[in-house]
C-alpha cells in the first residue's frame, strides 16, 4: 500500500526479503505513526526477536516474517552434512515458532517452506527452495488479501459506518490487510462511508496503526475508546463490524483475535449488527477441536499499567499511568464463538463459521 513520504506517495510492503544480503526487511511498527522506518534483521535470531518484540506484528505479517526467517536461517547454515543441517533447520523453526504463540500463520507459513524444501535433494537445492517458497507465501498472502477485498466489498453500502478492532490492515499482512481489504475496495469503487477504529488498549494498534493506514489512504475515520462501541451501537451509529483473526478453527468456527473482539461480538449480536471476520487461508487451523486449546499469549502487565508514546525528540517513551503498587493481567487475545459471527470473509468467498469444515477443500484444508 502507499505511504506518503515528504509529500510523495510510495508503495511499500510490510515484510520483504533481501536475498543478496540474506536479511529480512521490516517496517518498524513500534515507531508508527510518528516515524516511518525500515529495519533489517541480520540473522534468524534477530528475526525471531523482531516478532517477539513486535517490530512486526499481525498474523499474516508474522507469518511471512517467519517464512523468510526460516529461509534466512537455512541459507546461513554452512554445514552441508545432512543430519546436522536437518538439526539446524529444526532449531530455526522452533525459535521462530516460539516467538509468539497465538497466531497460527507463522506455523502454517513455515510448514509450507519445509514442504517446499523436501523437494530438494541437496542442501544447496533446499536453500534455494526455502527462499522460493517463502517468497511464494508472501506473494500469495498479498493476493489473498486482495481477494478478501473483492468478496467483502459486497457488504459495504453508501453511508455506512464500519467498526474495526485492532489492526488487521496491511501492516498486519504483507499488503492490503484482511479486515481493511473490503474497505480499500469500497473506496476504489467510489463508495462513501466512514470507519470507527477501536483504540485497542493496551497496545493501541487501532489508534496508532489502523488510523495511520486509513489516513495514508485518505479514508474518513475516527478513533473511538474501546469502551465507546456499545454506546455508538445503541445510538444506531455503527452498521457493520469487520475484524481480523490470529487463528480461526476450521473444525468449529471459533475465532481468536485481539483482546476485546469477543466483547464487540456480544455487543453486535445484542444490537443485531452484522459481525464479520476476514482471514486469508494461513489463519485457518484445521487441527484444534476447541477454542479452549488455543494458546492465548499473556503479555507483560506494564502494557496495561502505562502506555508508550513518542516524545518531542521523536524517541519512544513509556509513561506509567496506573497506581504504582498495582499489578495487572494482560491476555493479548480472546476467542469469539461461531454463534456471534455473521460470516467469515475468505479469499474463496464468505462462509458461515460453522460451514468452514464442510468447505475445507475450497479453503485449502485437509482432504
Ligand atoms: O498483537 P498483535 O498486534 O500482533 O495482534 C494481532 C492483531 O493485530 C489482531 O489480533 C488482528 O485483528 C488480527 S491479525 C491480522
Residues of the chain with CATH 3.40.50.10470: 150-359
* CA 57 – ligand 1 centroid, Å: 7
Please determine, looking at this structure, whether the domain spanning 2-145 carries the CATH number 1.20.120.420.
yes
Grid coordinates belonging to 172: 498486519
Task: Note down pLDDT in tens along the chain; length 367 residues.
Answer: 889 888 888 999 999 999 999 999 999 999 999 999 999 999 999 999 999 999 999 999 999 999 999 999 999 999 989 999 999 999 999 999 999 999 999 999 999 999 999 999 999 999 999 999 999 999 999 999 999 999 999 999 999 999 999 999 999 999 999 999 999 999 999 999 999 999 999 999 999 999 999 999 999 999 999 999 999 999 999 999 999 999 999 999 999 999 999 999 999 999 999 999 999 999 999 999 999 999 999 999 999 999 998 888 878 899 999 999 999 999 999 999 999 999 999 999 999 999 999 999 999 999 8
* CA 25 – ligand 1 centroid, Å: 20
DSSP-derived pairing of the beta strands 349-351 and 343-346: antiparallel
pLDDT confidence of residue 315: 84
Rounded alpha-carbon distances, angstroms, from residue 309 to 30, 171, 175, 298? 9, 19, 25, 22
Report the CATH number of the 150-359 domain: 3.40.50.10470
- Residue nearest atom 5 of ligand 1, based on CA coordinates: 58
pLDDT confidence of residue 212: 97
Interatomic CA distance for residues 105 and 279, integer angstroms = 10
Interatomic CA distance for residues 54 and 359, integer angstroms = 33
* CA 120 – ligand 1 centroid, Å: 34
Interatomic CA distance for residues 159 and 193, integer angstroms = 5
Contacts of 14 (CB under 8 A, 6+ apart): 26, 27, 56, 58, 61, 64, 170, 171, 172, 173, 174, 175
pLDDT confidence of residue 314: 77
Residues of the chain with CATH 1.20.120.420: 2-145
pLDDT confidence of residue 319: 96
Which of 60, 105, 181, 257 has the most ligand 1 atoms within 8 A of CB, as the residue to mutate?
A: 257
Interatomic CA distance for residues 69 and 50, integer angstroms = 10
The number of the ligand 1 atom at minimal distance from the alpha carbon of 165 is 12
Given a contact cutoff of 8 angstroms between Cβ atoms, the answer to whether 218 and 212 are in contact is no
Q: Which residues line ligand 1 (CB under 6 A)?
A: 57-60, 166-168, 172, 178, 205, 243-246, 257-258, 332
pLDDT confidence of residue 12: 95
Given a contact cutoff of 8 angstroms between Cβ atoms, the answer to whether 213 and 167 are in contact is yes
Per-residue HEC secondary structure of the chain comes to CEEEECCEEEECCCEEEECCCCEEEEECHHHCCCCCCEEEECCHHHHHHHHHCCCCCCHHHHHHHHHHHHHHHHHCCCCCCHHHHHHHHHHHHHHHHCCCCCCCHHHHHHHHHHHHHCCCCCHHHHHHHHHHHHHHHHHHHHHHHHHHHHHHHHHCCCCCEEEECCCCCHHHCCCCCCCCHHHHHHHHCCCCCEEEEECCCCCCHHHHHHHHHHHHCCCCEEEECHHHHHHHHHCCCCCEEEECCCEEECCCCCEEEECCHHHHHHHHHHCCCCEEEECCHHHEECCCCCHHHCCCCECCCHHHHEEEEECCCCCEEEEECCCCCCCCCCECEEEECHHHCCEEEECCEEECHHHCCCCCCCCCCCC
Task: Find how far residue 156's CA is from the centre of its chain.
Answer: 22
Amino acid at each position: 500500500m502507499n505511504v506518503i513520504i515528504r509529500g510523495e506517495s510510495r508503495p511499500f510492503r510490510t515484510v520483504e526479503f533481501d536475498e543478496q544480503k540474506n536479511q529480512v526487511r521490516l517496517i518498524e511498527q513500534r515507531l508508527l505513526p510518528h516515524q516511518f522506518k525500515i529495519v533489517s534483521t541480520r540473522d534468524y535470531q534477530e528475526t525471531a526477536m523482531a516478532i517477539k518484540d513486535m517490530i512486526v506484528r499481525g498474523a499474516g505479517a508474522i507469518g511471512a516474517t517467519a517464512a523468510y526467517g526460516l529461509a534466512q536461517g537455512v541459507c546461513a547454515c554452512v554445514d552441508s552434512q545432512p543430519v546436522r543441517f536437518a538439526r539446524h533447520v529444526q532449531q530455526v523453526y522452533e525459535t521462530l515458532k516460539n516467538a509468539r504463540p497465538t497466531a497460527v500463520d507463522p506455523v502454517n507459513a513455515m510448514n509450507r517452506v519445509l514442504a517446499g524444501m523436501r523437494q530438494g535433494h541437496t542442501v544447496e537445492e533446499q536453500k534455494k527452495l526455502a527462499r522460493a517458497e517463502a517468497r511464494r507465501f508472501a506473494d500469495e498472502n498479498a493476493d489473498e488479501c486482495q481477494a478478501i477485498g473483492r468478496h467483502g466489498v459486497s457488504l459495504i453500502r453508501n453511508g455506512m459506518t464500519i467498526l474495526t478492532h485492532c489492526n488487521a490492515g496491511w501492516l498486519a499482512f504483507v499488503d492490503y490487510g484482511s479486515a481493511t481489504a473490503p474497505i480499500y475496495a469500497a473506496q476504489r469503487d467510489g463508495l462513501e462511508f466512514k470507519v470507527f477504529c477501536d483504540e485497542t488498549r493496551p497496545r493501541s494498534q487501532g489508534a496508532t496503526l489502523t488510523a495511520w493506514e486509513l489516513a495514508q489512504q485518505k479514508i474518513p475515520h475516527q478513533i473511538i475508546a474501546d469502551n465507546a462501541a456499545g454506546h455508538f451501537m445503541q445510538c444506531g451509529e455503527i452498521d457493520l463490524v469487520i475484524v481480523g483473526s490470529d487463528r480461526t478453527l476450521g473444525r468449529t468456527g471459533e475465532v481468536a483475535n485481539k483482546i476485546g473482539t469477543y466483547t464487540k461480538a456480544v455487543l453486535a449480536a445484542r444490537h443485531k449488527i452484522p459481525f464479520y471476520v476476514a482471514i486469508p487461508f494461513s489463519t485457518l487451523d484445521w487441527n484444534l477441536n476447541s477454542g479452549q486449546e488455543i494458546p492465548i499469549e499473556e503479555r507483560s502487565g506494564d502494557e496495561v499499567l502505562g502506555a508508550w508514546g513518542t516524545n518531542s525528540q521523536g524517541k519512544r517513551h513509556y509513561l506509567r499511568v496506573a497506581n504504582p503498587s498495582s499489578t495487572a493481567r494482560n491476555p493479548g487475545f480472546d476467542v469469539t464463538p461461531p454463534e456471534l459471527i455473521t460470516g467469515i470473509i475468505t479469499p474463496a468467498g464468505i462462509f458461515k463459521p460453522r460451514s468452514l469444515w464442510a468447505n475445507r477443500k475450497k479453503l485449502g484444508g485437509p482432504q
